[in-house]
A = this chain, B = another copy of it.
Amino acid sequence: MSHPMFDRHQSLLTQAVEAIASRGYWSPYAESPRAYGETAIEDGRQAFEAYRNAQFYLDQPGVQGKAGSEVSPYGLPLNVSYPQCAPDALIDAAKTAMPAWIKAGPDTRAGVCIEILARLNARSFEMAHAVMHTTGQPLMMAFQAAGPHAQDRGLEALAYAYREMKHVPETAIWEKPQGKNPPLKMEKKFTIMPRGVALNIACSTFPTWNGYPGMFASLVTGNPVIFKAHPTVILPLAITVAVARQVIKEAGFDHNLVSLLIDDPKVPVAKDVAMKADIRLIDYTGGPDFGNWLEENCRHAVVYTEKAGVNCIVVDSTDDYKAMLRNLAFTFSLYSGQMCTTPQTVFVSREGVKTPDGVVTSEQFGHDLANSISKFLEDPARAVEVLGAIQSAATAARIEAAQDLGEVLRPSSAIQHPQWPDARVRSPLLLKVPVSNERAFMEERFGPISLVVETATTSESLATAERVIREQGAITFSLYSTNPVVVQLGEEAALRAGVALSINLTGGVFVNQSAGFSDFHATGANPAANACLTDSAFVANRFFVVQSRRHV
C-alpha cells in the first residue's frame, strides 16, 4: 500500500519529471501573491511578528543553550532565540532516523518531501517576511525567491533524484540460456542506499533558494539533512526545519531526519562539523574561500559548492539601445547586486556600441548606463522595492572601499527607506577601468559594485570575459550583439568557459534571473561552482545501488 502523501502528490511528481525532460516553462508553485489569498501578506507579517522576541520551538536533541542575534537589514532587531544543539547529538539522531526512512523507499520519501514543499508553499508569506528581515531582500522578491521559486528548485532537484532512483529496477529476473540444459535463472533485488548524513551550509542571501535543491535531493534519496544556518540568517531555515520535522512526524517517521544547527559568529562550527567522518554529503553556498576549503579538506564527503565569481557582460551592439540600458539598470539594481547571478563587469570596446541610431562611444555608454540606473532609482519608494537592503555591514564597507578602484561613473549613496528609517540601503556603484587594470575587475566584489571595462575591440572583450570566467568563475554571462558572428563567438566562448549565456536581453527577462525547471543554474565547469544545482550529476552521487541475487 502506498503512503497517503505519495498518493496525494503523485500527479505533481509525474508532472515535475516531465518538466525536467522538456525544460520549457513550468512552475508548480504560484508566484502571484493573489494566489495566496487577499490577507496573505498581512497574515505572513503577523506570523513573522509572532516569532519575534521569543524562543523558536524546535524539539531537537542535544540542546546546549540558546543563541540567535539576528538584526534585520531594515533595522529591526528580531530577538529570536533558537536552541543550540551539539553537532554530535544531531548527527547521532539523524543516523538513528535513517533505517526506517531508507526502508520507506523512493515513492514514500518523495511523497513526504512534496508534502513538506506544499506546507512551505502555504507559508510563503511568513517566509517572505522572515527572508526580508534577515537577507534584506525587498518583500515581493523575498516572497517569490524564497517562496515559490525556492520551492520550484526544491521540487526540481527532487524530480532529478527521483528519476535516477526509478531508473534502477527494484527487482529483475536474470535468465541465461544454457543450450540444451535448462537456463540459469536468478532473481535480483536492487536497493537504493543513501550515502549518509548531509550537511547543508546555507548562505546569507538566498538560504532557501540555494538550500532547497540539496535538501530535497538528499532527503528523497534517503539521507538525513542538517541545515547549518548563517548566524545572521537563521529564521528562514528554522521555519523550513520546523515545517519539515512536523510533516516527517505526521508521515510516521523520525523527525530528526531534518535538523537545524546554529552557531555564534564568534565561534563558528561549520568547519568542525564538516570534518566529521559521519558527514557524507555537503551542500554549500557562500564565499569562495570556505567553499574551496571544503572541497580541499572534506575527502570523506561528496561536496557540492556554489561560490559565485565574476559574472560578465559584453556589449558590442544592440537593436534597442534604450531597452538594453533599462534592462541593465534593473539587473544592477535588483537586490543591490547581492545575487550570485548579478553581473559585475561590463566589457565595452573603444570602438563603441553600434545601435540603429549610430555608434555610441564607450565613454557615452558608461554615462548612459549610469544615468539609466539613476533614473530607474529616482523615486526612493520605488527604488527600495527593487534594491532591498544591504545584508551585511561588510558589504556596505566593501562599497566604500571600492570607490577608489577606477573612475566613478555613478557613486553609491545611502537611500532613506520611506518605511524603515534604519534600513541599510545603498544605490549601486558604477566604476570605469581600462582592461589593463585587472586588479580591479578580476576579483569578486560582492554587492552593488559594477565596473565598465574598456577594451580595444569586441574580440578583446570576449577574450577577456572568457579568461575572467575561466579563472575566477561565473554563473552568468550576458552578450549584446546584433552581429551573428559575434554571437557565435560569444556562444563558443561560453561553452569553453562553461557558463550560461544570455543573449540580447532587452525585455522582461534579466540575466540575474534563473527559472526553475528551465534554466540550469551554474554548470560545475568553472570555478564559480563545482556542480549545477539541478541536474543528474547533482543527485546521482547521493545514493548507492546495492544488489542481492539468488537462484529461483
Binding site for B on A (CB under 8 A): 20-25, 102, 163-164, 167-169, 172-176, 178, 184, 186, 188, 190-191, 193, 195, 295-296, 299, 491, 494-495, 498-509, 515, 518-520, 523-525, 532, 535-537, 540-541, 544-551
Cα A20 to Cα B501 in complex, Å, equals: 34
Q: Is the CB of A184 within 8 A of B508?
A: yes
Measured CB to CB, the closest approach of chain B to A277, in angstroms, equals: 12
In the complex, the answer to whether A525 meets B193 with C-beta atoms within 8 Å is yes
Query: Among the listed B524, B537, B545, which residue makes an inter-chain contact with A520, where contact means beta carbons less than 8 Å apart?
Result: B545
Q: Find chain B residues with CB under 8 A from A502 CB.
A: 548-550
A166 to chain B, nearest CB (A): 10
* B186, B545, B547: the one within 8 Å of A509 (CB): B186
* Chain B contacts for A23, CB-based, 8 A: 169, 172, 174, 188, 190
A22 engages B169 (CB within 8 Å): yes
The answer to whether B25 touches A174, judged by C-beta atoms less than 8 angstroms apart, is: yes
How many copies of this chain does the complex contain? 2
CA–CA, A296 and B195, complex, Å: 19
Name A299's contact: one of B296, B545, B550 (CB within 8 Å): B296
Kindly provide the distance from the CB of A175 to the nearest chain B CB, expressed in whole angstroms.
5
Contacts of A518 in B (CB 8 A): 172, 174, 188
Question: Given that A500-B546, A548-B491 are contacting pairs, would A21 and B507 also be in contact in the complex, using a CB cutoff of 8 Å?
Answer: no
The CA of A22 and the CA of B169, in the complex, are separated in Å by 6
Please give, as numbers and ranges, the residues of chain B lying within 8 Å of A178 by CB-CB distance: 508
Nearest opposing residue in chain B for A549, CB measure: B502
Measured between alpha carbons, how far is A547 from B503 in the docked complex, in Å? Answer: 11
Name A550's contact: one of B503, B508, B532, B547 (CB within 8 Å): B503
Residues in B whose Cβ lies below 8 Å from that of A164: 536
Report Cα–Cα, A546/B491, bound state, in Å.
10
Taking A524-B544, A546-B494 as contacts, is the C-beta distance between A172 and B24 under 8 angstroms? yes
Are A541 and B544 in contact, with the CB atoms below 8 A? no
Residue of B nearest to A166 (CB): B21
Contact check, B549 vs A503: say whether CB atoms are below 8 A apart. yes
| A523 and B537 form a contact (CB under 8 A) | no
Interchain CA distance A173-B173 in the complex, whole Å: 41
A411 CB to closest chain B CB (Å) equals 33
Q: Is the CB of A498 within 8 A of B546?
A: yes
A168 CB contacts on chain B under 8 angstroms? 535
A-B interface, 5 closest residue pairs, ranked by CB to CB distance from nearest? A501-B548, A503-B550, A537-B540, A525-B544, A536-B540
Q: Give A227 to B431 CA distance when docked, in angstroms.
A: 50
Contacts of A550 in B (CB 8 A): 502-504
> In the complex, what distance in Å separates the CA atom of A164 from the CA atom of B164?
9
Bound Cα distance A324, B390 (Å): 72
Closest to A296 in B: B299
